[in-house]
A = this chain, B = another copy of it.
Amino acid sequence: MRSFIPPHRTLMGPGPSDISPQVLQALSRPTIGHLDPLFIQMMDELKSLLKYAFQTENEFTIALSAPGSAGMEACFVNLIEPGEKVIVCRNGVFGERMRQNVERCGGVAIVVDDEWGSPVSAQKLQSAVEEHSDAVAVAFVHAETSTGALSDAEALSKIARSKDMLVIVDAVTSLGGVPLKVDEWQLDAVYSGSQKCLSCTPGLSPLTFSSRAIAKIEARQHPVQSWFLDQSLVLGYWSGEGKRAYHHTAPVNSLYALHESLLILKEEGLEQAWKRHADTHQRLKEGLTDLGMSFVVDEEYRLPQLNAVYVPAGIDEALVRQRLLNEYNLEIGAGLGDLAGKAWRIGLMGYGARKENVALCLQALKEVLA
């Protein structure tokens, strides 16, 4: 057995996304202790960079030491108590996962279903909050990674707040790729992933809780069922007030990389990053349309960073992906869940949203499909 030397792939799947060499370099800087004063300074900067990315002043804005699926779970186990009702909007794989999370922490999930590829319907949510006005929260996915559909988080939040419900949002694929305004839209608990439009290595989950969310946690009657995800235990660590108490050993090097990737985002500017994703998507869309492909999601709700297109009739979709990978070192994503075998998911995320990636993808697809 030998050292593992990976090839250089161009990552245009649903994540992990292409990573800037600058971020990989940050990742391999010398490890220092997680309680080292210099590390704690870095963490303060990281928190401020995350607040910028989320467009929030939430004091509780952190990077969870685990992937986005743990970020999702952290929202439910902290905010929901046994017996509480949560309205879950489901229009893809991740809405369904939210439902499972609600039930696993003893909550009651009221599911509002929309078709795969459609956004969450504001009208259906409106009916649900009226029918279930005793629900404590509404949960939805801002950008469904399984389909590429964008939902109107601002409108959905307004509906939830009209009944004083907490708003829990999956922003795994949206953060950094399309507008996401946590404070302006009054979202209470928002989690993301490091490996999508932030173009950091996978394994961390940016997470922010509003003061309403924190108040809900502080008023809990039952202890949080997860020790690892119990955010009341780390409020002190991230608050910046006084001593950083030991909770667990932070993933030091991964946090260096996240700091670097957020710095890149801040230097570019959020608005510019959103524009770059939109522009790059436009180029890809034109090329894919020229190749005769059609999108799963209607143009109005389509995510620029995650392009789900139907596999043309008569094509062995797995073989195409395999050839792209083996011959062009290019990764595109398979369909997930209901779309398995029927669609490809082409990511243009973060550092991957570049003209050269679009050019490679279009030409390689053209050659392989020829």
Contact between A4 and B252, CB atoms less than 8 A apart: no
Q: Please indicate the chain B residues that have their CB under 8 angstroms from the CB of A349 in the complex.
A: none
Contact between A263 and B1, CB atoms less than 8 A apart: yes
Contact between B225 and A33, CB atoms less than 8 A apart: no
Q: Which of B4, B48, B97, B259 contacts A4 (CB 8 A)?
A: B259
Contact between B6 and A29, CB atoms less than 8 A apart: yes
Q: Which of B6, B31, B193, B249 contacts A256 (CB 8 A)?
A: B6
Q: Please indicate the chain B residues that have their CB under 8 angstroms from the CB of A263 in the complex.
A: 1-3
Quick check: is A179 within 8 A (CB to CB) of the other chain? no
Quick check: is A68 within 8 A (CB to CB) of the other chain? yes
Q: How far is the CA of A224 from the CA of B42 in the complex (A)?
A: 36
Q: Please indicate the chain B residues that have their CB under 8 angstroms from the CB of A97 in the complex.
A: 227
Contact between A249 and B67, CB atoms less than 8 A apart: yes
Quick check: is A254 within 8 A (CB to CB) of the other chain? yes
Q: How far is the CA of A70 from the CA of B1 in the complex (A)?
A: 29
Q: Please indicate the chain B residues that have their CB under 8 angstroms from the CB of A103 in the complex.
A: 223
By size class, the interface of chain A is 35 or more
Q: How far is the CA of A19 from the CA of B29 in the complex (A)?
A: 11
Quick check: is A158 within 8 A (CB to CB) of the other chain? no
Q: Which of B9, B100, B227 contacts A69 (CB 8 A)?
A: B227
Q: Please indicate the chain B residues that have their CB under 8 angstroms from the CB of A1 in the complex.
A: 45, 48-49, 263, 266
Quick check: is A361 within 8 A (CB to CB) of the other chain? no
Contact between B16 and A30, CB atoms less than 8 A apart: no
Q: Which of B4, B30, B101 contacts A45 (CB 8 A)?
A: B4
Q: How far is the CA of A8 from the CA of B31 in the complex (A)?
A: 8
A23 to chain B, nearest CB (A): 9
Q: Please indicate the chain B residues that have their CB under 8 angstroms from the CB of A253 in the complex.
A: 24, 27, 201-203, 254
Quick check: is A292 within 8 A (CB to CB) of the other chain? no
Quick check: is A176 within 8 A (CB to CB) of the other chain? no
Produce 1/0 per residue, A244-260, CB < 8 A to B. 00111111111010011
Please indicate which of the listed interface residues A25, A65, A248 has the most CB atoms of chain B within 10 Å of its own CB: A248
A13-B28 contact in complex given A65-B203, A104-B223, A104-B226, C-beta closer than 8 Å: no
Q: How far is the CA of A73 from the CA of B266 in the complex (A)?
A: 36
Contact between A33 and B6, CB atoms less than 8 A apart: no
Q: List 18 A-B contacts (CB under 8 A).
A: A1-B45, A6-B29, A9-B30, A9-B36, A15-B249, A16-B249, A24-B253, A28-B28, A65-B67, A67-B228, A67-B248, A67-B249, A70-B248, A77-B226, A103-B223, A195-B249, A201-B251, A203-B251
